[in-house]
Amino acid sequence: MTDTSVPNVRRARAGLLCVTLAIAVCQAAAPVAAPTSAAATVPSLAPTPAPEATAAATAPPRSALDRAARHGNVLIGAQPSVADIGLLKPRGIGRVINLRTPEEMNDPALVALDEAALLAAAGIEYVQIPIGGNAYPFRPEALDAYARALEGAPGEIYLHCATGNRASTLHAAWEVKYRGKDPDTAMRELQPFGNWPLPIERLTGIELKVERRADP
């Protein structure tokens, strides 16, 4: 009887080898999927800006008129912009008193507008009383000029310097000299512009009181 088991085994092994080779060839030919990026699958942990914060970042700056401090018919504030000047007449302001020096007003890096010309075109009266630096110190003549500028104003008055610091100090002095206001009360009204508390109070933490010295 002829033994055919050996050839059959050999054929089976050959067939198995062909199948193995075919699988290997298919695996080599198949495209390899690109590794998934962690950044593409993991959600971003960066916080989303709140709508209020986005709106605040894109909102236009507040008008100097909206930030001004009112004292009767006088509004005390910072340098008005071109847009602010356009708002003066509608808000009933008929006169502007400017305490900035000629050097400031003529420096485009500090003031990028012709305030006098813009106010004239808007039909608003303009008074300049320079205060600042060694050439234009705080002086009695400036206070007297301010007192005259307050008289007969056609409507309300906008008093300004660069930030409102000098303007608020001048008005407080007018309140003391021409209205008889208590100096301590007048000085405390300067707080919105950083002139109160006094530097010595901030340094020591001791609250002081400003009083008029009695005549000898």
Per-domain boundaries in the chain: 62-182
| pLDDT (0 to 100) of residue 73 | 96
Phi, psi of 154 (to 5 degrees): -80, 80
Selected residue with higher pLDDT from 6 and 191: 191
* Mean predicted confidence (pLDDT) in 74-88: 97
| pLDDT (0 to 100) of residue 54 | 53
Which CATH number applies to 62-182? 3.90.190.10
Phi, psi of 75 (to 5 degrees): -105, 125
CB 148 within 8 A of CB 157: no
**Which range (12-21, 145-154, 187-196, 200-209) has the least confidence?**
12-21
Confidence of residue 45 (pLDDT cuts 50, 70, 90): low
| pLDDT (0 to 100) of residue 155 | 92
Average pLDDT, the chain: 82
State pTM to two decimals. Answer: 0.71
Does residue 81 surpass a pLDDT of 50?
yes
Sign, CA dihedral 89-95-100-103, equals positive
What the block records as the tokens of 113 is 């507008």
Phi, psi of 126 (to 5 degrees): -130, 130
pLDDT in tens, 82-93: 999 999 999 999
Neighbours of 101 (CB within 10 A): 20
Does residue 74 surpass a pLDDT of 60?
yes
